A and B are shown apart, each in its own frame.
Chain A
Amino acid sequence: MLQRVLTKSNKSDLYLDLIELASGLLLVGFLWTHMLFVSTILISPEMFNTLSEFLDTYYLSYFAIPFIVVVALLHFVIAGRRIPTRIQEQRIVWQHAKMLNHFDTWTWVFQAITGMAILVLAAIHVWLVVTGWPINAMNSADRMEAFWWFYLVLLFVGEYHAGFGIYRQFVKWGMFPRKPIGYVAKLITVVIIVLGLAAMVAFVRLGGGA
Chain B
Amino acid sequence: MADRQLTFEIFRYNPLKPEVAPYMQTYKLAETTGMTIFVALNMIREEQDPSLMFDFVCRAAICGSCAMVINGRPRLACKTLTNTLPAKIKLFPLPVFKLVGDLAVDTGTWFRYLSEKTESWVHTSKVPDPKVQEERMDNAVANQIYEAERCIECGCCIAGCATANIRDEFLGAAGINRVARFMVDPRDERSPGEYFEIVGSEEGAFGCMGLMACDDNCPMELPLQMQLAFVRRKMAAYGLGYKEKKRIKP
Convert A80-110 into 0s and 1s, putting 1 for each residue whose CB lies closer than 8 angstroms to a CB of B. Answer: 0010100001001100110111101100100
Whether A13 contacts B225 by the Cβ 8 Å rule is no
Convert A153-187 into 0s and 1s, putting 1 for each residue whose CB lies closer than 8 angstroms to a CB of B. Answer: 00000000000000011011111011000000000
Whether B200 contacts A11 by the Cβ 8 Å rule is yes
Convert A168-210 into 0s and 1s, putting 1 for each residue whose CB lies closer than 8 angstroms to a CB of B. Answer: 1101111101100000000000000000000000000000000
Task: Identify the stretch in A14-22, A37-45, A47-55, A144-152 within 8 Å (CB) of chain B at 4 or more residues.
Answer: A14-22
| Listed A/B pairs (10) with beta-carbon separation below 8 Å | A17-B236, A18-B236, A89-B166, A92-B166, A96-B95, A99-B69, A102-B213, A105-B211, A174-B229, A178-B212
Q: Is B228 in the interface zone, CB < 8 Å from A?
A: yes
Q: Is B181 in the interface zone, CB < 8 Å from A?
A: no
Give chain B residues whose Cβ lies under 8 Å from the Cβ of A96: 95, 162, 165
A102 to B156, CA, bound (A): 14
Convert B184-214 into 0s and 1s, putting 1 for each residue whose CB lies closer than 8 angstroms to a CB of A. Answer: 0000000000001100111000111111110
Whether B213 contacts A13 by the Cβ 8 Å rule is no
Whether B239 contacts A11 by the Cβ 8 Å rule is yes
- Which of the residues A13, A93, A101, A171 comes within 8 Å of B165, measured between beta carbons? A93
A65 to B239, CA, bound (A): 32
What's the nearest-Cβ distance from chain A to residue B202, in Å? Answer: 5
Give chain A residues whose Cβ lies under 8 Å from the Cβ of B209: 82, 108, 168, 172
- Which of the residues B69, B201, B240 comes within 8 Å of A13, measured between beta carbons? B201
Q: With A100-B73, A102-B216, A105-B211 as given contacts, are A172 and B228 in contact (CB-CB < 8 Å)?
A: yes
Whether A13 contacts B212 by the Cβ 8 Å rule is no
Convert A1-14 into 0s and 1s, putting 1 for each residue whose CB lies closer than 8 angstroms to a CB of B. Answer: 00000001101011
Give chain B residues whose Cβ lies under 8 Å from the Cβ of A177: 225-226
Whether A178 contacts B162 by the Cβ 8 Å rule is no
A16 to B202, CA, bound (A): 10
What's the nearest-Cβ distance from chain A to residue B19, in Å? Answer: 24
Whether A100 contacts B213 by the Cβ 8 Å rule is yes
Whether B236 contacts A100 by the Cβ 8 Å rule is no
Q: With A99-B69, A108-B162 as given contacts, are A172 and B210 in contact (CB-CB < 8 Å)?
A: yes
Give chain B residues whose Cβ lies under 8 Å from the Cβ of A104: 210-213, 216
Whether B210 contacts A168 by the Cβ 8 Å rule is yes
Give chain A residues whose Cβ lies under 8 Å from the Cβ of B211: 102, 104-105, 108
Among residues of B, the one whose C-beta sits closest to the C-beta of A10 is B201
Residue from A16, A168, A172 whose CB has the most chain B CB atoms within 10 Å: A172
What's the nearest-Cβ distance from chain A to residue B121, in Å? Answer: 22
A96 to B92, CA, bound (A): 12
Whether B232 contacts A93 by the Cβ 8 Å rule is no
A84 to B212, CA, bound (A): 18
Whether A93 contacts B162 by the Cβ 8 Å rule is yes
Give chain A residues whose Cβ lies under 8 Å from the Cβ of B196: 9
Whether A14 contacts B236 by the Cβ 8 Å rule is yes
A149 to B198, CA, bound (A): 50
Give chain B residues whose Cβ lies under 8 Å from the Cβ of A178: 212, 215, 225
A61 to B239, CA, bound (A): 35
A8 to B202, CA, bound (A): 11
Q: Is B41 in the interface zone, CB < 8 Å from A?
A: no
- Which of the residues B225, B233, B236 comes within 8 Å of A171, measured between beta carbons? B225
Give chain A residues whose Cβ lies under 8 Å from the Cβ of B232: 17, 172-173
A14 to B240, CA, bound (A): 9
Among residues of B, the one whose C-beta sits closest to the C-beta of A174 is B229
Q: Which of B225-246 contact A (CB under 8 A)?
A: 225-226, 228-229, 232-233, 235-236, 239-240
Give chain B residues whose Cβ lies under 8 Å from the Cβ of A102: 73, 160, 211, 213, 216-217
Give chain A residues whose Cβ lies under 8 Å from the Cβ of B225: 171, 177-178
What's the nearest-Cβ distance from chain B to residue A46, in Å? Answer: 44
Give chain B residues whose Cβ lies under 8 Å from the Cβ of A17: 206, 232, 236
What's the nearest-Cβ distance from chain A to residue B211, in Å? Answer: 5
Among residues of B, the one whose C-beta sits closest to the C-beta of A93 is B162
**In the complex, the 3 A-B pairs of residues with the closest C-beta atoms, listed nearest first:** A172-B210, A14-B239, A13-B206
Q: Is B108 in the interface zone, CB < 8 Å from A?
A: no
Give chain B residues whose Cβ lies under 8 Å from the Cβ of A93: 162, 165-166
